[in-house]
A and B are shown apart, each in its own frame.
Chain A
Amino acid sequence: MKPLKELAFEILDAFKSRNQKRLRKLNDEILKEVTLDFSNTKYELAVFSYVLSKIVSKPRFLSRERVPSIRKIEDDIRDMAHVIGEVEEQIILDKFRKIEESISHLEQFDARFVRDLMSKGRLKAAATMYAQGISLGLASELTKIPKQDILDYAGRTMMFDRLKEEMPVKQRLKAARRILGGSE
């Protein structure tokens, strides 16, 4: 995986050029690394790359009136990118919180969903980690997203259909009959 600083600047560049595809690709790349070797900093980078990709895909966030808010987000990302990988984790996480505040401010002008962009980004990351192979409990613990939310999200995806089941349904029912009734 590339160094975190390089990734952070790539995210900034992709956001400044309003390159949604690049941001989504970065999100995929970082998220895989998060699942294989979790750290809070990597996780935040993954979440923000997704959230920023959503922002650049919505014209309502990019209108002329929103330019100051967008500039503020860019400045905050730059602040974070300058120190990432060089200072202790808590300082970087504080920088991420500043970006989060700026994104919330942008969203406030035209809130449309109960779940805000940041929560959506975190939920998406948690559900993807579960889909990629770690357990539901671990995905929930690492991301601090309740299991209920991850299950709700996972249930609306094809993640279970992409996995081969070793035990046929007939055998499962046989087991269920044995468990409950004592006969098969």
Chain B
Amino acid sequence: MKTKDILCDSGAFISLTTSCLDHILYFLAEKFKVRFIIPPNVEYETVTRPLQAGLKQHSFSAIKIKEAIKDGIITKVDIGAEYLMQRVMRSANSMFYVKGRPLQLIQSGEAEMIALAKELGVRDILIDERTTRLLIEAPISVRDHLADEFGINVMLDKKALLEFSALTQGMTAIRSSELVMMAYENGFFDHFDELKNEALEAALYKIKFSGCSLRFDEIDEYLRMVKWKPKRQ
């Protein structure tokens, strides 16, 4: 089986580790020969910073991610895609204008991930963060959301949109919730026997409450797909 690369953002690892679902990474890596790759900034945010800054409440997650890096489940890749990163930042942060000013939407970490995917030719990204994912999937919905939130007219710079779309063309984003579903479909929850559907539901809720950009109705939709109706209290 050929190894597949998935480029990951820090949010997905944070959601998975705080939900105690990080073993899904091991499970999928082994079963499907997946390599979860990260840019240096993701390691800094999820491992180095919490441990060095003494962020005790996040240290356990950091240790688990550090261990997954040591075990080769997560691979750090640093190829220096500075030029591409700047292009991603520039186009994303000049896509929308409010009151005549460009609206800054993303920062270097998020731009670095897209640039690295482009540079490596990796088209699949694991991202729990909402704004960057929506910019890739449906940038106009970001504009609509901003207009709703601020009650103002948000202007679109088509040139910047086209440049950003060209940089992200062909990329597919999945969230940690899709990893949970894939783990379920491939037996990760089977040891819970007759409770495996409840375990799936609980895992999806937990991942949502841990910050994965997932809607409640999407959880219901997932559960309908496995033909299981949760008992509502």
Contacts and interface: CB of A to CB of B under 8 A. Distances in A.
Interaction A to B: yes
A146 interface: yes
Interface string A155-173: 1100111011111111011
Contacts of B179: 176
A154 to B, nearest CB: 5
Interface string B198-233: 000000000011111111111001100100000000
Contacts of B50: 146, 148
Given A36-B98, A180-B32, A135 B215 contact: no
Interface stretch (A17-25, A86-94, A136-144): A136-144
Contact of A138 (B99, B106, B134, B217): B106
A65 interface: no
A147 B224 CA distance: 32
A97 interface: no
B58 A146 contact: yes
A172 B127 CA distance: 12
Nearest to A156: B209
Contacts of B6: 179
Contact of B130 (A136, A148, A173, A177): A136
A32 interface: yes
B143 to A, nearest CB: 9
B45 A147 contact: yes
Contacts of A147: 10-11, 14, 45
A180 B28 contact: yes
B141 A176 contact: no
B156 interface: no
Contacts, number: 154
A36 B172 CA distance: 29
Given A160-B214, A179-B4, A37 B178 contact: no
B142 A133 contact: yes
* Interface footprint category on A: 35 or more
Contact of B208 (A135, A150, A160): A160
B107 A132 contact: no
Interface in B1-51: 4, 6, 10-11, 14-15, 18, 28, 32, 34, 45, 49-50
A161 B14 contact: no
A168 B107 CA distance: 27
A132 B152 CA distance: 13
Contact of B49 (A134, A146, A169, A181): A146
Contacts of B163: none
Interface string B130-152: 11101001100110111001100
A173 B212 CA distance: 16
Nearest to A114: B57
A155 B108 CA distance: 23
A173 B61 contact: no
A136 B131 contact: yes
Interface in B96-120: 98-99, 101, 103-110
Closest 5 CB pairs of A and B: A151-B211, A166-B138, A135-B131, A176-B178, A155-B211
12 contacts: A36-B101, A133-B146, A135-B105, A137-B132, A146-B55, A155-B210, A160-B208, A161-B215, A161-B217, A163-B213, A172-B174, A176-B181
Interface of A: 32, 35-38, 130-138, 141, 146-152, 154-156, 159-161, 163-170, 172-173, 175-182
Given A136-B129, A151-B14, 16 more contacts: A35-B150, A38-B104, A130-B131, A132-B146, A132-B149, A135-B132, A136-B131, A138-B107, A146-B45, A147-B10, A148-B61, A150-B211, A152-B210, A155-B210, A163-B213, A166-B141
